[in-house]
């Protein structure tokens, strides 16, 4: 497959027009750090954003940043750190779990709607996105949205592009909100809870007026893999609070007092807390150097533990929980078991399962994406036809499956 590196927006538009006229498909990617994700479909070339780089506009006082899509995420993070700001949605780094190299790009983050533990209170990546520039399947350059939330022109179009995995357009520039970074973070760990007990404890914690910014449950099968931070032995239910020092201290006291009703409570130091949530974000327990199937499953937080329990009776599965139990990272020991997994999800009220990693032959036989309901599938097809009538973009990926 030929890699194509446009150095300007109009270069990308020309490439798309040429491929549309020739009826040839393109894979859309940035740093290629999610290589191997999605359904394997042949394409003529790979259109990459990595030569479209640079921060276009950044005024920390406005808390808004505009950057070209191929700008390395590390460059964005460095600029924000200098000014005490952050990407609130805490995007994960897929390289450890996918076994890839390269540099994640800011365009790729929004194209895949990559959102980490703080999504509970900050929303997904798409909720921070204010504007985009992109090339559609006709080779036309489109601008949507603006630099402030008051400018709602094209706002829905902005939301459509986020999480579309490059199926609707080739993103060339993004504008997004960058709020202040919390001054401190603290994490408590409740020990010894099984999955169902942990789900209950996290629900209680989230209902308290303490603004928990991350809630995860780590069964014994994964806690020993968090080697960089000091966790108690056995199961660990982890809750994070962030903000100003005096506020965090007061809220932590209230949270710890409530959680003592569920089990022993310990507090992590600042360094261990940061390492813990980085490892949860990047799914470090399953960054094992193997191609064993890994699923990203989104369900109602109250039923996540039921799904895992049902699967454990039927097949070999390991799992841990983020987003208060609403996001389950699941590793299968052998087969992907897609039909079984999706059948159980439907029986528990719905959700979706996305196959993130699997051996090549398994990916060829298993749909990476949940089948959409008929009405949604029809709407998606109509959107695809409008944005990309020749079917140029990312034939192996489907839009609309991220939360």
Residue 39, pLDDT above cutoff 70: no
Least confident of 99-108, 203-212, 255-264, 386-395: 386-395
Whole-angstrom Cα distance, residue 290 to residue 286?
A: 8
**Residues 72 and 179: beta-carbon distance below 8 Å:** no
Domain-located, residue 387: no
Judgement on whether residues 170 and 258 belong to the same structural domain of the protein: no
> Model confidence at 402, in pLDDT bands (50, 70, 90)?
very low
pLDDT at residue number 4: 95
**Average pLDDT of every residue of the chain:** 91
Residue 152, pLDDT above cutoff 50: no
Structure tokens given for 250: 């007061």
Least confident of 136-150, 272-286, 332-346: 136-150
- The CATH number covering residue 116 comes to 3.30.465.10
Residue 38, pLDDT above cutoff 80: no
What b/e sequence results for 124-149 when a residue is b if at least 16 CB atoms lie within 10 Å of its CB, and e otherwise? bbbbbbbbbbbbbbbbebbebbbbee
> Model confidence at 153, in pLDDT bands (50, 70, 90)?
very low
Judgement on whether residues 121 and 194 belong to the same structural domain of the protein: no
Judgement on whether residues 215 and 348 belong to the same structural domain of the protein: no
Domain-located, residue 245: yes
> Model confidence at 396, in pLDDT bands (50, 70, 90)?
low
Residue 1, pLDDT above cutoff 60: yes
Residue 333, pLDDT above cutoff 50: yes
Q: How far is CA 220 from the centre of its chain?
A: 24
Residue 203, pLDDT above cutoff 50: yes
pLDDT more than 90, % of the chain: 78
pLDDT at residue number 197: 98
In the three-class reduction of DSSP (H, G, I as helix; E, B as strand; rest coil), residue 95 is classed as: helix
pLDDT at residue number 186: 97
Phi, psi of 370 (to 5 degrees): -65, 135
pLDDT more than 70, % of the chain: 94
Structure tokens given for 266: 């310990």
The H-assigned helical ranges of 23-93 are 73-82
pLDDT at residue number 156: 77
**Residues 331 and 357: beta-carbon distance below 8 Å:** no
Judgement on whether residues 100 and 207 belong to the same structural domain of the protein: no
**Residues 6 and 15: beta-carbon distance below 8 Å:** yes
Q: How many domains does the structure of the chain reveal? A: 3
Judgement on whether residues 334 and 238 belong to the same structural domain of the protein: no
pLDDT at residue number 399: 44
**Mean pLDDT throughout 39-44?**
71
- The CATH number covering residue 295 comes to 3.30.70.340
Range(s) of the domain holding residue 313 = 284-365
Handedness of CA 27, 28, 32, 35 (dihedral sign): negative
**Mean pLDDT throughout 6-34?**
94
Stated as kind and residue range, the H or E segment containing 217 is strand 212-218
Least confident of 71-85, 146-160, 265-279, 337-351: 146-160
**Residues 193 and 143: beta-carbon distance below 8 Å:** no
Whole-angstrom Cα distance, residue 344 to residue 166?
A: 29
Judgement on whether residues 272 and 288 belong to the same structural domain of the protein: no
Whole-angstrom Cα distance, residue 320 to residue 221?
A: 9
Q: How far is CA 79 from the centre of its chain?
A: 22
What one-character-per-residue DSSP string does 149-208 give?
TT--TTHHHHHHHTTSTTSS-EEEEEEEE-PBPPSEEEEEEEES--HHHHHHHHHHHHHS
Judgement on whether residues 127 and 45 belong to the same structural domain of the protein: yes
> Model confidence at 397, in pLDDT bands (50, 70, 90)?
low
Domain-located, residue 193: yes
Residue 36, pLDDT above cutoff 50: yes
Nearest to 315, CA basis, from 330, 327, 300 = 330
> Model confidence at 151, in pLDDT bands (50, 70, 90)?
very low
Q: Which residue has the higher pLDDT, 37 or 154?
A: 37
Domain-located, residue 375: no
> Model confidence at 41, in pLDDT bands (50, 70, 90)?
low
Using only the alpha carbons of the chain, give its radius of gyration. 21
pLDDT at residue number 69: 98
Judgement on whether residues 202 and 59 belong to the same structural domain of the protein: no
Judgement on whether residues 148 and 216 belong to the same structural domain of the protein: no
Judgement on whether residues 190 and 217 belong to the same structural domain of the protein: yes
Residue 304, pLDDT above cutoff 50: yes
> Model confidence at 364, in pLDDT bands (50, 70, 90)?
confident
Judgement on whether residues 143 and 56 belong to the same structural domain of the protein: yes
pLDDT at residue number 112: 93
Judgement on whether residues 138 and 78 belong to the same structural domain of the protein: yes
What one-character-per-residue DSSP string does 225-248 give?
T-TTS---SS-EEEEEEEE-HHHH
Structure tokens given for 180: 């202040």
**Residues 140 and 12: beta-carbon distance below 8 Å:** no
User: Looking at 224, 251, 281, which one is the last position of a domain?
Assistant: 281
Residue 32, pLDDT above cutoff 70: yes
């Amino acid at each position: 497959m030929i890699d194509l590196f446009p150095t300007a927006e109009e270069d990308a538009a020309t490439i798309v027009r040429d491929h549309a006229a020739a009826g040839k498909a393109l894979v859309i990617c940035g740093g290629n750090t999610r290589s191997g994700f999605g359904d394997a479909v042949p394409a003529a070339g790979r259109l990459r954003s990595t030569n479209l780089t640079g921060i276009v506009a950044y005024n920390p006082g406005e808390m808004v940043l505009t950057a070209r899509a191929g700008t390395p995420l590390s460059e964005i993070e460095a600029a924000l750190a200098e000014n005490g700001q952050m990407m609130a949605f805490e995007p994960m780094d897929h390289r450890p779990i996918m076994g890839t190299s390269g540099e994640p790009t800011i365009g790729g983050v929004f194209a895949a709607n990559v959102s980490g533990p703080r999504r509970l209170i900050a929303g997904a990546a798409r909720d921070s996105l204010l504007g985009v520039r992109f090339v559609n399947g006709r080779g036309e350059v489109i601008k949507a949205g603006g630099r402030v939330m008051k400018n709602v022109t094209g706002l829905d179009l902005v939301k459509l592009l986020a999480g579309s995995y490059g199926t609707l357009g080739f993103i060339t520039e993004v504008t997004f909100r960058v709020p202040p970074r919390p001054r401190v973070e603290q994490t408590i760990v409740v020990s010894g809870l099984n999955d169902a007990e942990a789900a209950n404890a996290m629900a209680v914690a989230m209902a308290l007026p303490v603004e928990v910014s991350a809630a995860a449950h780590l069964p014994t099968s994964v806690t020993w893999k968090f080697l960089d931070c000091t966790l108690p032995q056995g199961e660990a239910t982890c809750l994070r609070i962030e903000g100003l020092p005096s506020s965090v201290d007061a809220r932590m006291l209230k949270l710890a007092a409530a959680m003592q009703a569920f089990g022993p409570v310990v507090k992590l130091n600042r360094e261990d807390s940061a390492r813990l949530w980085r490892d949860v974000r990047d799914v470090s327990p399953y960054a094992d150097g193997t191609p064993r199937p890994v699923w990203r499953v989104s369900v109602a937080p109250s039923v996540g533990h039921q799904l895992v329990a049902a699967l454990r009776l039927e097949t070999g599965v390991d799992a841990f929980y983020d987003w208060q139990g609403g996001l389950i990272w699941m590793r299968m020991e052998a087969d992907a078991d897609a039909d079984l997994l999706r059948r159980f999800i439907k029986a528990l009220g719905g959700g979706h399962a996305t196959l993130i990693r699997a051996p090549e032959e398994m990916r060829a036989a298993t749909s990476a994406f949940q089948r959409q309901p008929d009405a949604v599938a029809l709407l998606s097809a109509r959107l695809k036809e409008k944005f990309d009538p020749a079917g140029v973009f990312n034939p192996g990926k489907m839009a609309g499956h991220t939360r």
